[in-house]
Structure 1
Amino acid sequence: MLNRSYQVLAEYYGISIVPARVRKPQDKSAAEASVRLVETWIIAALRDMKFFSLKEVNEAVAEKLEELNNREFKQHIGTRRSAYLEEEQAYMLPLPTAPFEAAVWSAAKVPNDYLVSDGRNKYSVPYNLIGEKVDIRATKTIVEVYFHGSRVASHRRLQTKQREPLMKLEHMPQEHQRYLAYNAEDFKTWAMSVGPMTEKAVYHFLDSGKAPEQGYKACASLMKLGERYSKERLENACGRVLAFTTTPSVRNISSLLKNEKALPDLLQPEQPKNINRYGITRGAAYFKKGGEQK
């Protein structure tokens, strides 16, 4: 079996990898011989040299590699370079335009907020993948998310830890997209088109928190009630709730709209029963048999 990164490397360059079998050293004898030869001609030959930059090392290695490729075979005619040009070059594929970039793979289950993490920051995926397992590929510059082998999301990778996730509008459901478009002025304009009582309720929701955004959910719920029951009924319900309290809630307004006949009685202040108007506390039934028996 190939590990994920090695498999992706092979697919990127269009090559096939045949893994060696377990406890079968003969499967890699040719490769091991080549490794030993390169160690002798390049690494061992340069072991006593001192370099002061990576550029110097690469230049020295390239020089020794050229010498190795042009060295005559002992048992065959030609060199490694001539063998490549005559036998192998015709089968070589062109290299991709960009070199392969190593990546770190991980798996995750998409949570309810449809955000996945690269270990430092969070990135959005399509909301319909909530509850599904996805594969995350993170390179130095990009974060990609795959579902059943198909890429479903791609983000530029944030280099520093951010408080807010990196979101894409198309990954959100319609309700969340509308929520991002909300603003206080639009709510006020809509409330003005309904009536003064609704406008008063909206102003209360927007001003009741430390920031207007805290009242957006209540205002959005009020708009939905207007669409469901009509603006006229919503204005009437807001007026009746505001007549009873200075702190209206969406729950009270919604309950009134659902049961307009029963709820108004509940909203009226309870009046004390006037049972002592004439000073009779026990009533006629008490005296019917002569009063309490001792």
Structure 2
Amino acid sequence: MATVHISMRKLKEILRLKYGCLLSHRQIAKSLSISASIVSTYSARAASMGITSWPLNEEWDDESLQRAFLKSKPRPKQFAIPDWAVLQQELRPKTMTLLLLWQEYVERHPEGAYSYNHFCRQYKTWLKCQKPSMRQNHKAGEKLFVDYCGPTMNITDPSTGECRTAQVFVAVMGASNYTYAEATFSQGLENWVMSHARCFEFLGGVPELIIPDNLKSGVTRACRYEPDLNPTYQQLAAHYNTVIVPARPYKPKDKSKAEVGVQIVERWIMARLRHEPFFSLRQLNTRIAELLIDLNGRQMKKKPGSRLSQFELLDKPVLKPLPDKAYIFTQIKQVKVHIDYHVEVEKHYYSVPHCLIKQKLEAHVTGQLVTLYHQGKQVAVHPRDHRFGGHTTNERHMPIAHQKQQQWSPQRFESWARDIGKSTETLVIEFLQAKKHPEQSYRACLGLLSLAKKYSPARLEAACHRGLWMGATRLKQITNILEKGLDKQALPEVQLDLLNEIEHENIRGNSYYH
């Protein structure tokens, strides 16, 4: 059977969940939406290379891991298949267990026996035809189901009277039904992730698993078999040492707790607040928190006690502790290094070492910092800057005698522009002199000179001449001149100031308005 290749991110997540979170191969497979056999294969290959702990040693970076896993090959193994019908008959007595039957199976087939986990999985697969549906039993502290309510709440701006809608986030513990809810202005990534962080603070701990819907903020690509988690959402799970297992699309039974929790919040909180006016998000969340106390303290009909008493009895004692450091929202995105060795993050440009030109990096963006990684290694850190079109450059990132610096230099851009025409050369020189470092203008120069290929050098020269004459010297303005064909029109004649020779205190002349 051909080897299935997985991404380096998923490979490292397998190792983190196996050795850091101590999950079984089946639990890891559910979290990452891959088969348990793939988890077993890569775990065995990691063990053969001496990787049996988390975090990894410094010697194992992304590049060395990829090289080592590509060289290593899994060894096929022949397994003895049990007689599942006989095994089912032997399981009928109350004293019999699958563990005992597996131990006997291993004694009969010591060289080709399944592992206990795989033995159980194979038996349950065979048993599906006789048990097509099964009631879900939730372990204490294991699962937290999260979702958004369908209806929204209205918030009125007291100064303008503008009405905004707020989304209601709901989280429900599987064993106790203990419920958390809060309102946010959107279902965007930051609100989605930070709602989880505030929910963990509310619970006073972290569950083993988070079961979300296939929301765009949490799951980048929804798929029944292999959904891709958003990197920022995955980093939240790593920070809190928990596992995310997305529900299958169009399978509401996978998250029935969330569906019921959403319905209860809509009926017992949102319906009670429908006639109350709210003028801020904080005011709305204060009222939701007050009604949550009543909701969680209310006596349940089908279980003894309340959600709060069940939570304190079942879930709270076994929740994982909160991390020592508070979570800071970090947006993760892929960026590409341009020839000016800068990357673009929210319309601002940050420098990286020039040897990474044309490489793809991973940017981690917080409220204060922009940290850039290449193959898992940190290559640059900059204070976050919100200026559109600005540049943040570390002089140590600049090339000294590098091939890229020789190929792209101010002299080369000026020579290229000089071949097109005098006006183009003048405009390129203005671009290069407009920045503290000429390298920061390379992108604009390339954009200008590339217009000669699209419109012809003669038209570009005419457009630059017209732009200089009009004072429209930005790249976008030159592009507009070419798109609208203004370069083909003659420049308007300069009108003579007929009043210039008349001197009078009430006559100002044209120069007054410049």
Q: What range is the shorter-chain TM-score in?
A: 0.5 to 0.7
Cα–Cα, structure 1 residues 107 and 53, in superposed 2: closer, same or farther, change >3 Å? Answer: closer
* TM-fit CA distance, 1:7: 1.8
Pick from 326, 329, 342 the counterpart of residue 101 of structure 1: 329
Contact kept, 8 Å, 2:342 with 2:350, in 1: the verdict is yes
Matched, 1:46 2:273: yes
Equivalent residue, structure 1, for 2:380: 153
Residue type of the partner of 1:25? P
Contact kept, 8 Å, 1:9 with 1:100, in 2: the verdict is no
Equivalent residue, structure 1, for 2:241: 14
* TM-fit CA distance, 1:102: 5.2
Q: Deviations over 1:61-105 (max 9, x none)?
A: 1100111111122111222222222222232321453343252x4
Please say which structure displays the higher CA radius of gyration: 1
Contact kept, 8 Å, 1:136 with 1:145, in 2: the verdict is yes
* TM-fit CA distance, 1:141: 3.0
Contact kept, 8 Å, 2:247 with 2:254, in 1: the verdict is yes
Matched, 1:126 2:356: no
Equivalent residue, structure 2, for 1:55: 282
Q: Distance in 1 between matches of 2:274 and 2:357?
A: 55
Cα–Cα, structure 1 residues 171 and 43, in superposed 2: closer, same or farther, change >3 Å? Answer: same
Pick from 353, 373, 392 the counterpart of residue 166 of structure 1: 392
Equivalent residue, structure 1, for 2:320: 92
SS in structure 2 of the partner of residue 146 of structure 1:
strand
* TM-fit CA distance, 1:52: 2.6
* TM-fit CA distance, 1:115: 0.8
* TM-fit CA distance, 1:175: 4.7
Count of aligned positions: 178
Residue type of the partner of 1:41? W
Residue type of the partner of 1:167? T
Q: Deviations over 1:213-237 (max 9, x none)?
A: 99xxxxxxxxxxxxxxxxxxxxxxx
* TM-fit CA distance, 1:59: 1.6
Q: Deviations over 1:98-155 (max 9, x none)?
A: 343252x432322232111113221111223223211223344322222223432221
Q: Distance in 2 between matches of 1:84 and 1:175?
A: 65
* TM-fit CA distance, 1:51: 2.1
- Give the alignment's TM-score, normalised by structure 2: 0.32
Contact kept, 8 Å, 1:111 with 1:131, in 2: the verdict is yes
Q: Distance in 2 between matches of 1:74 and 1:151?
A: 54
Residue type of the partner of 2:394? K
Q: Distance in 2 between matches of 1:71 and 1:148?
A: 51
* TM-fit CA distance, 1:5: 2.8
Cα–Cα, structure 1 residues 23 and 52, in superposed 2: closer, same or farther, change >3 Å? Answer: closer
Equivalent residue, structure 2, for 1:80: 307
Greater relative contact order (Cα < 8 A, sep 6+): 2
* TM-fit CA distance, 1:27: 0.9
Contact kept, 8 Å, 1:13 with 1:96, in 2: the verdict is no
Please provide the CA RMSD for this pair: 2.8
Residue type of the partner of 2:271? A
SS in structure 1 of the partner of residue 350 of structure 2:
strand
Pick from 28, 35, 38 the counterpart of residue 262 of structure 2: 35
Cα–Cα, structure 1 residues 6 and 65, in superposed 2: closer, same or farther, change >3 Å? Answer: same
Equivalent residue, structure 2, for 1:257: none
Matched, 1:115 2:346: no
Residue type of the partner of 1:121? H
* TM-fit CA distance, 1:158: 0.9
Structure 1 gaps of 5+ residues are: 180-209, 215-294
Cα–Cα, structure 1 residues 79 and 149, in superposed 2: closer, same or farther, change >3 Å? Answer: farther
Q: Distance in 1 between matches of 2:376 and 2:266?
A: 39
Give the structure with the larger helix fraction: 1
Identical pairs, percent: 38
Cα–Cα, structure 1 residues 73 and 151, in superposed 2: closer, same or farther, change >3 Å? Answer: farther
* TM-fit CA distance, 1:26: 1.5
* TM-fit CA distance, 1:172: 3.6
Contact kept, 8 Å, 1:12 with 1:100, in 2: the verdict is no
Residue type of the partner of 2:388? K
* TM-fit CA distance, 1:12: 2.6
Pick from 337, 344, 362 the counterpart of residue 135 of structure 1: 362
Q: Distance in 1 between matches of 2:365 and 2:252?
A: 35
